[in-house]
Structures are given as structure tokens and as C-alpha cells.
Structure 1
Amino acid sequence: MAIVKMKKLRVIAMADRREELLKGLLHLGCLEISEPDEKLSDPAWSALLQRENSGLSVTKSEIGDVNTALAAIKRYAQLKDGIFIKRHPISEKEFLGSGTVEQARQISQQVGQQLQTLTRLQGEETRLLSRQAGLEPWRGLDMPLEVQGTQHTVFRLMVCPGSTDMTAVQTALADTAAQMLEVSADKQQRYCLLICHRAEEEQALECLRPFGFSATAFQGLTGTPSENLNRLAGEIAENRKQQETATAAIVAQAGARDALRVYADRLSAEAAKDQNTERLLTDGTILFFEGWAPAERLSAVGALLDKLGCAWEASDPTEDEISKVPVQLKNNWFTKPLNMVTEMYSLPAYNNVDPNPLMAPFFILFYGIMMADMGYGLLMILASVLVTRKYHPKGTMGNLFSLMGLCGVSTFIMGAITGGFFGDFLTQVVLLTTGKDFALPALFTPLNDTLMILVGAMCLGFVQIATGMVISMVQKFKKGQVMDAVWEEITWFIVFAGIGLMVLGVTPIVLYAGLVLVIAGPVITGKGLGKITGIFGSLYNHITGYFGDILSYSRLMALMLAGSVIAQVFNTLGAIPGNIIIFIIISMAGNALNFALNLLGCYVHDLRLQCLEYFGKFYEDGGKPFRPLAINTKFVDIQND
């Protein structure tokens, strides 16, 4: 497997064939239209062209409307999708046809209008409830709210803290022609009516100031508080009735959700087309654009362009254009799931190598070593098969469950080798039910052969690091960097070979030759004092670097041991009561926790080994993902006509 070879296209077409051209490219789904350069090669030519206009803003607005409608239907109809959305098949002709678009647009608008009505009513209800809450403490006041007093008296509605001593208030008002009547009280406030002579209003208010009194009023309200509360209760009831009507109208459209989903995917395709439309350059008569297409699909693209009478040319990217070439990885069923790992890290540069087939065997093997349990492996395989067959997830989610299935197979195999099935679950079950000792056959076990597993993990790490060095060496040979390969990789391969031979008791002459090359490299390539410092720098960086990298692979042993011990601990705890039912409950709960922790932990540590220890030897990232004009759907699967 490799990085797909790309061709650069330059196309001139008639402006009146724009829609037909874009629809054809959308159907092919294999050409990425590039953003136009600020200046074309010929200034006189570039002055004639300008960006094409599109209805992208309108399409995005419609996408927002239909997504809002779908969210409203899901909420008010109380529909549940679960973790995955089950895609429905639909033909491309039906998908792109105009038969259901107008109907779906009308439904989207109707739901949007009802949602606006519902939002307005909910806001109005909030205001009514707030007003009701403000009036409720005054319900016992048998006086119209618009009455402010008489010719000689003033009526003031006042509130004060709930802890206020009303006896002290009355005492303070004793020397004034005023009276304070308490209407109601709660923990926070007291609600009172002040009646005083107009001539002594200021004096009465001054007497009340130390007690924290403040005036309140209900502007625009007439009648007693009780009358207003009864009126508000009627308005709230009517408001809620209208809300129920609007909600029912939204719920009634639940049957049209599938049509709205098709419409949402259709709008996404239209948005992609409109976005690419704005990358076209035109003078009103012709169109011009540049783009990238896979070399293996060039014939199909060329056939479409010829059919529409376009003038076009295709060429290989130049050295200066390498950084602009979009990257598409071509993988099979085994290596494709690793796309999620590569994309999480970074796509390779166009002139680099596809890391997926180089990483897949190591990633899957290492995951199985760390998890190493037949029970956990079966759960992973089962989850992968059920999800992929029932929901057919695509993209990152599809790669995730495919990778889970592959890692599940590796986990099951390593579990069979180490004799683990939910730890020692079967051993404890047989002991509890029959009283006999039982153990699954195993080549080695994490608890009894820890040192051997540690050495094996480091050996596997050395194999992966050496593989990365070989890949780097081959790349340098292809680029003509022979001496760089000699000093960086070949020299250290000789050192490693010498160490291995010395361990086997062979004369260490090969090791000496490698050390001579290690010293000769900086001397030959360095300048001045750098010849001396380069020797120590090379020795320090390479020895500590390789030792640290190889030591990192001890995590394979650590996670295998940790997972096995945790599972056995829970099984032992469950077996203490001697009851098989209690054992199963405690064991399954503990193994579920252990499985969840290891499922994520093994992935993170495996990812670290690949991205740091392995990729650091040869990988050049920075690739730009290939994003062709294509139909990308969320709710439906397009079937070829």
C-alpha cells in the first residue's frame, strides 16, 4: 500500500456548463478544486478573471434550519438515536432529484415557525411567571394597585428584610402620622403597606431607613393583587395551551424525520458544490480552475471534461508543489483502520511513505500483548462485528470499530498463549463448583514469567526501531543521501550486530568496526572544534536515545501484568464468600472496570510507541488531506445507479 499518486489539472470550460460540470465532478467524487492563487502566471490573464459567485450563504442558512428542525423533532417527540445513526440506503438519482426537496423544505420551515412560536411563548410564560411570583406575596392586600392614596394620605407598598422587628418599626413611627401594616412575610422579606399623612411622608420614610425598607410598585396594573393573580393564572394557562399546540405540531412531523435527514445530507452536498463554485475563476464566458485528482481516476475525470467540451491538461507535481499536493492513503481492509491513528498524528508528506502498512502489524500485536485476555478479546470482536454489521459506521468511527476487531483477535490469541480468560475466572469457577484445581494451558503467564516477558517486550521494541531505521535508510538511498544513511543507520546497525555477536561469544571485531565508524562520522562531516564535540554528541544522543526508546517498550509487560493482576484480584475477592452467584457479580463488575480501563490505556500507550519511538525514525508529517468535491452523507448511504 502507498500514498496515492496525484495529478495536477488545469481546466478551462464554458461558463454556461458550470452546473453540469460541478454535478459531474460531484458524482465522480475524485477531484479537489484548489483555492485560486492570488496571481496567475500571466498578470494580463489574471486581470480578466474573478471568483465565481454562489449561493453558499443561503445553503448554509438552510442547513441550519433543517438541523434545528431535526433537533426540535428529536426533543419534543422524545426520539432516541442511540450511539450510532443507522443509515438508510438511497439511490443517487433519488438523492439528487428534486422530488422530495421542496416537501422537505416546507416541513423544515413549518417546524421552524412552530419552534419560533414555541420559543416566543416560553419567553412570555417566563415573564408571566415572574410577574405572578412578584404579586403572590401581596395577594392578601384588598386594595387596587393603582390607588396611591387619598387627598390627605399616601399609600406606599414597601418591603424589608424578613428579620426586621416590626414592633421596633411601629415604635419608630409612633411620633408620626403613619401606620405600617404587614401584608405577608417569608424567610427573605416582609411585605408591608405604609399609610401616612402626606405632610409627614418624608419624616416617616426617614424613620424607616434604618430598618432597610424600600418602596415597590406595579406600574400599569389595575385592580387588587388577587384580581391580577387570577388574570395572570388565566393567561399562563392559555399560554401553556398554545405551547402544547405548537409542540403537538412539531411532534406531528416526526414521521418526516427521515425525509428531513435526506434533505440535510442533500444540502451538505449542495454546500460542498457551492464552496467549490467559489474557487472557480470566470469572466462570464469561460471558467478556469486548477485541481488535483488521483492518477488512477484521471481517465474518468478526463472523460467527463471531454464530454463537456473542456480544455484541460494534467501534469505531475513539481518539486516546488510537493507541499501543496493533497495526500490520500490507499489501504486494504487490514491497514485501512489505522487511518484513524495516522490522521490523529498527522498525514505523511506527499513524497514520504504511507505509514499504515508499516505500523499495522506492530500496533495490532502490541495491543494484544498489553490486553492479553481471551475474554476481553471476544468482547472486542463481538462489539466490532455487531456495530459494523448493524450500523455500518463510516469515517473515523468505522475505522475505530474495525481496528477494535483486529486488536480483539490479537488480544484473544495472546490471551490463549498466556491462559487468561477474564483473568483466572474459569479457575475460580471450577474451584467453587467442584472443589478441584483447574487452569487453562499456557506457554507463559504474566505473574510467573515477568522477566521473560520484559526481555521479549524489549526485543520486540528493538525490532520495531530497527524497522524504522531500515525504512529511513531506504528513503535516504532513494533521495541520493547515501552518506547520511551510512553515518545514521548503517553505522549503528554494525554496532548492534557487534554487540549481539559479542554476547554470543564471538570476537568483538565487528563492534570495534562500528565504533570506529561512530567516531569517523563526526570527524568527516564536522568542521573545526565540531569534529571533537560531534563525537561525544553522537555517542550521547544515540546511546541514550536508543536505550530510552527500547526501554519504553517495557510498558508492554507492565500493562499485561497490571491487567492480569487486577482481573485476578477481583476474581479472588469474589471467591471469598464461597457463593458462585456473589462471585459472578463481583467478578463481572471488576472485569468490566478492568476492561474499560485497559481498552483506553492500551490504545494510548500503543499510540505513544508508534508516534514517538517508531515514527521518529523515518516519518515526515505535514501532509494536507485530500478533500475532493464529493457527496459526504451523515444519515444515508448512496447506492450507485
Structure 2
Amino acid sequence: MAMADSREALLSGLLRLGCVEISEPEGVLADPVWAGLLRRESSRLAERRTEITDVNAALAAVKRYGQLKDGLFVQRHPISEADFLSAGSAEQAREVCGRVSRALQELSGLQSEENRMRAGQASLRPWASLELPLETEGTAHTVVRMGVLPGAADTGALRTALAAEEEPAEFYEISADKQQRYCLLICHRSAEERVQEFLRPYNFSAVAFQGLTGTAAENLDRLERQLLENRKAQEAAAAVIAESSASRDALRLYADRLASEAAREASAERLLTDGTVLFFEGWVPAEQLEAVRSLLEELGCAWEAEEPAEEEYPKVPVKLKNNWLTKPLNMVTEMYSLPAYNSVDPNPAMAPFFILFYGIMMADMGYGLLMILASVIIGRKYRPKGTTGHLFGLLGLCGVSTFVMGALTGGFFGDFLTQVVKLTTGGDFVLPALFTPLDDTLMILIGSMCLGFVQIITGMVISVVRKVRQGRLLDAFWNEVTWWIVFAGIGCMALGVTNWVLYAGIALAVVGPVLNNRGFGRITGVFGSLYNNVTGYFSDILSYSRLMALMLAGSVIAQVFNMLGTIPGNIVFFLVVSLVGNTLNFGLNLLGCYVHDLRLQCLEYFNKFYEDGGKPFRPLEFQTKYVDIQ
């Protein structure tokens, strides 16, 4: 609780700390006593969102009319907090934003007017050869009507039929296009109804030009002059916007500042007040509580902090703790689902396997070098944040793994170096390799499934540790330890040591469902447990064969393209074909290996221990896209 007059200082302080997620006290307004005392705090969130829309429109207009080009990523600029919050820079940006907005509004009006005039030109052009004022409706004794017929109509036959009716009328075709025929009807007033009735089967439709005087040609000339003036006015408005391109950095800074202010106003809406005091609850990571304590005591707040009770766990937001190795894996975890509060953070358990498996599937020194270079260059030059930053961090780690596995398999853009040496010198050259995908396929397949088995066992170990900590010892024994005994028994039998370990494991797998179920469920539980676990573990381990499959596919595709490039025996032709082929292969594997690696983690690994459903921690903090606040 705080005094209401410290609202701005409190929100600004929490914004700077960036470690508190403000939440409305649950159930307070539902309590009649509290509801009579407190109300929701007002905010200017809607105003800030409108300003964000305006500045984003101004940035888009400045980029378009100033012919500015952005790279693949926004290059973030460092800035001090004082400069970021400077009133002078904000005022300058508001002035530029207002000027661009007015020019955009004027430009939009001019473009609408241009469209209207061009539509007018299109409607007048078919009548350009008619030397008759558009306002002409007839004389004292005649009626003049302009109209259209369908494009397929035969005006010659129509004129002949009209003459046969012996009506005092004349029908002329002025022009025609694929869709319509533009015609002029002149008839005596006494015969107007009869002639109209005659023309009805021909789908004749009258045309009128309200508000226009003079001939069509005169009106076309007038519209052309107006269009020239309109285009000059548009160019002047576009020039105003283009001149503002020099202030794009100021607009970007202003956009970031507005985003942070919008975040603050959104948090302000969760405050409750009676006009004298403010009241709110929130979440803070335990290691940052002292910083919050200092701020709250400095502002004279009354406050308390406590660990969430177990029944509150579903509401507690989750913040992952990471180091340099596990942080990039946040992208994978967030794509799947955050772990539930007080459960296991999967990143440390997943990082070694994800990075290793990616390297096994890609397995090429050339591709690994490209991944490392892309990660380092983009990371240092653009300093991407959030998911994009995690993506390139993960790219670098997987690039290292890819390079190492490529060194073990002797792959450098397939057999690129071998073919280059053969084309240029005629000699034989092969990179040293511990094993190769083409020659040691069976060994790689067995090794892949062994690695998968290790990961599955790791997941089971994590599950056992969790269950033991929760006091669920029997669950851990029957669900994991029993099958460890089965696995150990299979190993002993394969080595010819003994079969009794396997028999003991099978016996425990049968006894477990009998002891844990009742009635007829004991029998069905035995068959269900055996079937689900045997087929489940077998299919999970077999699924890791994709490590071998993608390694083999990537290696073969690269070698095929290199071989195609050697057919003419020309080094230049080879380099072109190899470049194109390896580019396609690299792009395909870059995505394919990620998808298959993700599948192994989410389906084969996470189902052993992972409890998802976490709510992301969203503190009140500076939200910037274009700058880094120092």
C-alpha cells in the first residue's frame, strides 16, 4: 500500500527495476467491504495506444517516402536512461510525428480525390467524340437520352428494327468496348414511352452526368488539369514526409518510449485506490526482492512479501533461470509450453541433447562454419533480443556441434574439397574421418538409438528424483525403477551374463499393476502396462533413428550436387552447381534438423518428466525495439 500521490514515482521506480509483475488483488472488489472503499485506478492506456499507432504510421511513411531500406534485422543503438526519458527528445519526436501525420492525412485526401477524378475520366472517355453538352436533355419537342447497351448487342439490327416501327426516333452508336456500347437516343416527346418500351428487350440503360456541363471532351480536359494540380500537391506532401526521414531515429526512440509508457499505464489499471492510498499485489523473483524492498521503503509504502502457497502455484508466473548454454533453449521451451511453477526447468536437461543431436543430423564442417559466422556477426552487429536473440544464440551452439560432427565424419560441403582437388590437379584427396555416413550407416544407426536410450533414461531419472522429493516412492519404483531392471536384464542377457535380472524385471512389471489396481482392473492393468510400456519404449528408441537418416540424407544430397557439377569437368561450372546445391541442402537441413530435434525433445523426452502449463512472468519493464538502455 502506498500514498496515492506517490503513484508516478512508484510506477517509474518499478519500471526501472523491471522485476515486478503487478496484478490486481484477487477477490478484493468482490468483497462488499473493500468494494465500498476501493475502485480501479484510471490510466491513459488508450491514449498511449493511439499515440503508438500514430508514430508507427509515421515510421512506415518515412520509410516509404524517404526510400529508406532496413536490413534483415533492426540495428539497436545504445542510449542512456536519461536520454531515453528526455522531455526534449520526446517533444521533438511529437513535432515530427504530428507533421508527418498531417502530411499523411493530406496525402490520403489527395489520393482519394485522384481516384474520384480518374473514375470520372473513365466514365467520360467513351463519350469524348460526342459534340453535345452533357447537360442536354432535349428541346421543346424532342428528348435526348445517352445510354448503354451490352457489348454483344447489334446496334445495326436495332436501328433497322426501330425504323420498321416508323417511330419518330434516331439511335446512334458513339463508341464501344468489350463490355458495353455507348449510344445516343433522340426521339419525339410524343413517342418517348413507346420507344422506351421498344428498347427494353435490348437492355438499354440511360446514363446521366449530374452536375457536369459542357461536352465530355471539355470535362476531360478540366479533369486532366485538376489531376496535374493534384499530383503536384501529392508530391509536395510526400516531400514533407521524405524530409522527416532525417528524424527517423527520434521517431524510433519515441516509439520505444511510448511502448514503455503503455506498459506502465497497463500496470496502472491494475492498481486499486480510494483517492488517498494505492493498493496492489504482484510477483517478484526472490533474488531481486531486496531491490524492491529499497524502493518501497524509500517511498514509504506498507508492504509484505511471502512465498506462494501450494494452492497458489497455478497462478504463479514462471521465469526461467539460464546460463550462456541453456538460455538459447528458451525459444524451444516457450514454443512448447513453459514448465509449471515448482516443477523442473527442462533447459539444463535438454540443452546437451538438443545441441548434440542437431550436430549429428547436420554433420558438416562447412555448414557449421556458416552457422557460427551468422550467429556471431548478427549477434554482435544487431544484438537481437527475445526470441530472435535466442534463435541466433542457439544457431551458434548448434553450429559448433555441427562443425565437430562434420570433422568426425569428414564432411565439408559434402565432398567439396575432394572434387575441387580432382578437377584442378587430378589427384585424390579425402578429409580424415573417424566414420562416414555412407560406409558406417549401421554403426551410426545403432549409436543414434543408444543416444536416444541415454536421453530416455535421463528423463526417467529426473522423474524419479521429482517423485522421491514429493514422497511418491512407490510410483517411482513401479513406473521407472521396474523398467530399469527390465533394461538391465536385457543388457545382461545380450552379454550372456544371466537371465535372472530380466525375469525379475518382468515379474515386477506384472506385479505392479496387480498391487495397484482392484478387481478385474488387475488383469487388464497387467496387459495394458506391458503393452503400453513395451511398445512405448520401443517406438521412442526407434524414433532416434532419424539422427542417422538426416545425417545420411544431408551427406548424400551434398555429394550428389557436387558430382553433378563435375560432369563437364569445368571448375567454374562445378563451383556454380555446388554453390546452388549446397545452398538448397543447407536451407533444407537447417529447418529440417530443427523440426526433428524439436520432436525428439517434446515427444520422446518431455513425456518422461515434463509438467507444462506455466504462466509467463511479464514484469513492468522498459520495452524497446530500437534502442538498448544503458
Kept after mapping to 2: 8 A contact 1:367/1:603: yes
- Is 1:21 the counterpart of 2:25? The answer is no
- Residue of structure 2 in register with 1:33 after alignment: 22
Q: Is there any run of 5+ residues in structure 2 with no aligned partner, and where? A: none
| 2:407 paired with 1:416 | yes
Q: Give the AA of the match of 2:56.
A: N
Query: Does the alignment pair 1:578 with 2:573?
Result: no
User: CA shift at 1:189, angstroms?
Assistant: 2.1
Displacement after TM superposition at 1:339 (Å): 0.3
Determine if the alignment matches structure 1 residue 205 to structure 2 residue 196: yes
Tell me what 2:99 maps to: 110
Q: Larger deviation: 95-104 or 610-619? A: 95-104
Give yes or no for contact 1:348–1:354 (8 Å, CA) kept in 2.
Answer: yes
Alignment of 1:401-480 (within 5 A): 401-480=392-471
* C-alpha spacing 1:420/1:629, structure 2 compared with 1 (3 Å): same
Within the alignment, does 1:367 sit opposite 2:342 as a pair? no
Report the Cα distance in structure 1 between the residues aligned to 2:156 and 2:511, rounded to whole angstroms. 102
1:5 matched to which residue of 2? none
More deviation in 29-38 or 288-297?
Answer: 29-38
The answer (yes or no) to whether the contact 1:369–1:560 under 8 Å persists in 2 is: yes
Aligned to 1:332: 323
- The whole-number CA distance in structure 2 between the counterparts of 1:635 and 1:340 is 21
Q: Is the 8 A contact 1:325 1:350 kept in 2?
A: yes
In the alignment, which residue of structure 2 is the partner of 1:595?
586
Q: CA deviation at 1:104?
A: 1.1
| Residue equivalent to 2:271 | 280
TM-score (norm 2): 0.98
Shift, 1:436, TM fit: 1.8
**How far apart are residue 41 of structure 1 and its match?**
9.4
Q: Deviations over 1:558-608 (max 9, x none)?
A: 111111111111111111111111011011101100100000000000000
The separation in 2 between residues aligned to 1:505 and 1:85, in whole angstroms, is 62
Post-superposition CA distance 1:543-566 (Å, at most 9, x none): 000001001101001111111111
The one-letter code sitting in structure 1 at the alignment partner of 2:539 is G
Are the counterparts in 2 of residues 172 and 207 from structure 1 also a CA contact under 8 Å? no
Q: Do 2:24 and 2:272's aligned partners in 1 also have CA atoms closer than 8 Å?
A: no
More displaced, 289-298 or 40-49? Answer: 40-49
Q: Report the equivalent of 2:336.
A: 345
Q: What letter is aligned with 2:432?
A: P
Letter in 1 for 2:223: L
Question: Among residues 495, 498, 501, which one is paired with 1:510 in the alignment?
Answer: 501
Measure the CA separation in 1 of the matches of 2:119 and 2:312: 65
Aligned to 2:235: 244
Structure 2 counterpart of 1:552, from 543, 546, 563: 543
8 A contact 1:172–1:208 mirrored in 2: no
Task: Give 1:15's aligned amino acid.
Answer: A
Alignment of 1:39-118 (within 5 A): 39=28, 43-118=32-107
Question: Alignment partner of 1:421: what SS?
Answer: coil
Is residue 2:170 matched to residue 1:179? yes
What TM-score do the two structures reach when normalised by structure 1?
A: 0.96
Mapped pair 1:230 → 2:188 = no
Q: List per-residue Cα deviations over 1:253-282 (Å, max 9, x = no partner).
A: 111111011111111111111111111111
- In the alignment, residue 519 of structure 1 is paired with which amino acid? V
CA–CA distance in 2 between the matches of 1:548 and 1:93?
59
TM-superposed CA distance for 1:454, in Å, is 0.6
**Secondary structure in 2 matching 1:190:** strand
Q: Any conservation in 2 of the 1:567–1:594 contact (CA below 8 Å)?
A: yes
Partner residue, 2:596:
605
For 1:145, which of 134, 140, 143 is the aligned residue? 134
CA contact (8 A) 1:368 1:414 kept: yes
TM superposition shift of 1:43: 4.7
CA apart distance, 1:33: 0.7
Residue 98 of structure 2 aligns with an amino acid whose one-letter code is Q
One-letter code aligned to 2:612:
D
Q: Could you tell me which residue of structure 2 aligns to residue 522 of structure 1?
A: 513
Aligned residue for 1:289? Answer: 280
The reply to whether residue 377 of structure 1 matches residue 364 of structure 2 is no
- How far did residue 159 of structure 1 move? 1.5
Task: Give me the whole-angstrom Cα distance separating, in 2, the residues matched to 1:209 and 1:281.
Answer: 73
SS in 1 for 2:97: helix
Whole-angstrom distance in 1 between the partners of 2:188 and 2:157: 20
Shift of the alpha carbon at 1:162?
3.0
Question: Helix, strand or coil: the match of 1:47?
Answer: helix
Mapped to 1, the partners of 2:75 and 2:24 lie a distance apart of 35
Q: Which amino acid aligns with 1:479?
A: Q
Q: Which amino acid aligns with 2:89?
A: T
CA deviations over 1:509-532 (Å, ceiling 9, x no partner): 111111111111111111111111
TM-superposition CA deviations, 1:68-115 (whole Å, max 9, x none)? 111111111121112100011110011112121122112111211111
Aligned-partner Cα distance in 1 for 2:149–2:207: 11
Contact 1:423–1:568 at 8 Å: present in 2 too?
Answer: yes
C-alpha distance in 1 between matches for 2:537 and 2:512: 18
Is contact 2:557-2:585 (8 Å) kept? yes
> Aligned letter for 2:578?
S
Q: CA shift at 1:362, angstroms?
A: 0.2
Q: Give the Å deviation of 1:46.
A: 4.4
- Report what 1:7 is aligned to: none
Can you list the C-alpha shifts for 1:23-62, whole angstroms capped at 9, x where unaligned?
0110110111113313379652443111111111111111
Q: Shift of the alpha carbon at 1:359?
A: 0.3
Superposition deviation, residue 630 in structure 1: 0.4
Q: Distance in 2 between matches of 1:42 and 1:118?
A: 54
Other-structure match for 2:295: 304
Q: Give the Cα–Cα distance (whole angstroms) in 2 for the partners of residues 638 and 353 of structure 1.
A: 33
Output the CA distance in 1 between the equivalents of 2:37 and 2:179.
Answer: 75
2:173 and 2:184 in contact (8 A); partners too:
yes
Deviations 1:420-448 (A, max 9, x none): 11111111111111122221111111111
Asked if residue 135 in structure 1 is aligned to residue 124 in structure 2, the reply is yes
Aligned CA RMSD, in angstroms, stands at 1.2
Aligned amino acid, residue 541 of structure 1: N
How many corresponding residue pairs?
628
8 Å CA contact 2:318, 2:340 repeated in 1 = yes
**What is the CA–CA distance in structure 2 between the aligned matches of 1:146 and 1:230, rounded to whole Å?**
17
Is this contact kept in 2: 1:146–1:222, CA < 8 A?
yes
Contact 1:32 1:628 in 2 (8 A): yes
| Rounded Cα–Cα distance in structure 1 between residues aligned with 2:198 and 2:106 | 50
- 1: CA distance between counterparts of 2:316 and 2:88? 39
Q: After superposition, what is the alpha-carbon deviation per residue over 1:96-151, rounded to whole angstroms, capped at 9, x for unaligned?
A: 12121122112111211111111111111101000111001111111111111111
d(CA) in 1 for partners of 2:4, 2:509: 64
Q: Deviations over 1:447-468 (max 9, x none)?
A: 1111111100000000000000
SS of the residue 2:183 aligns to: strand
Q: Please say if residues 28 and 34 of structure 2, whose CA atoms lie closer than 8 Å, have aligned partners that are also in contact.
A: no
| Structure 2 Cα separation of the partners of residues 530 and 184 of structure 1 | 88
User: Which stretch has the larger CA shift, 467-476 or 236-245?
Assistant: 236-245
- Work out the percentage of aligned pairs sharing the same amino acid: 69
Q: SS of the residue aligned with 1:315? A: coil
Moved over 4 A (4+): 40-43
Counterpart code for 1:156: R
Task: Supply the distance in 1 between the matched residues of 2:246 and 2:136 (Cα, whole angstroms).
Answer: 56
Between 43-52 and 247-256, the greater mean CA deviation after superposition: 43-52
Q: Does the aligned pair in 2 maintain the 1:161–1:190 contact within 8 Å?
A: yes
**Letter of the 1:274 counterpart:** E
Aligned partner of residue 291 in structure 1, secondary structure: strand
Contact 1:162 1:187 in 2 (8 A): yes
Q: Any stretches of 5+ residues in structure 1 without a counterpart?
A: 1-11
How far apart are the structure 2 equivalents of 1:42 and 1:61? 35
